[in-house]
Amino acid sequence: MNRVLFGLMAGVLAATSVAAHHSFPAYYFEEQSVTIEGEVAEFDYRAPHAWLHVKAPDAQGQMQRFSAEWANPQRLMRDGVTRDTLRAGDRVIVTGSPGRNASEYKIHLKRIQRPADRWQWDTRRTAARRR
């Protein structure tokens, strides 16, 4: 009986973990790239993914609040990114994959730069550094 109960609990936990994490290609055009330049409105540093909210002009020049989905905070911490790395008002350039629903103004963040002090984070560079 204990084995059956343990097996059921393990199955539920595994299914919950898989359902909690989504596939980025389901939400973003991963084969495309978009770049925005604007001002940090908010940096939400929490699991499962950090979010960077940036006020920037859209393709028509209208100011929008873009939400850039970033990596997990544990990965960011290994790369030297903390909750204090970015502050509201910082001028940034964000490059990433555009969201499948353009009206949501979402980006899967791949690269970020802060020109004021030349700080930057790049998913390809950080992946190469970890190898």
**How confident is the model over 115-126, as pLDDT tens digits?**
999 999 998 776
What's residue 96's pLDDT? 98
- Residue 15, pLDDT > 50, answer no
Residue 86 to residue 88: CA distance in whole angstroms = 7
> CB-hemisphere CA count at 13 Å for 80?
9
Q: Is the torsion defined by CA of 49, 117, 115, 37 positive or negative?
A: positive
Tokens of 103: 């009206």
The architecture in CATH of the region 28-130 reads Beta Barrel (2.40)
Q: pLDDT tens across 25-70, in order?
A: 999 999 999 999 999 999 999 999 999 999 999 999 999 999 999 9
- What whole-number percentage of the chain has pLDDT above 70? 78
23 band by pLDDT with thresholds 50, 70 and 90:
confident
- In the block, tokens 């353009």 appear at 102
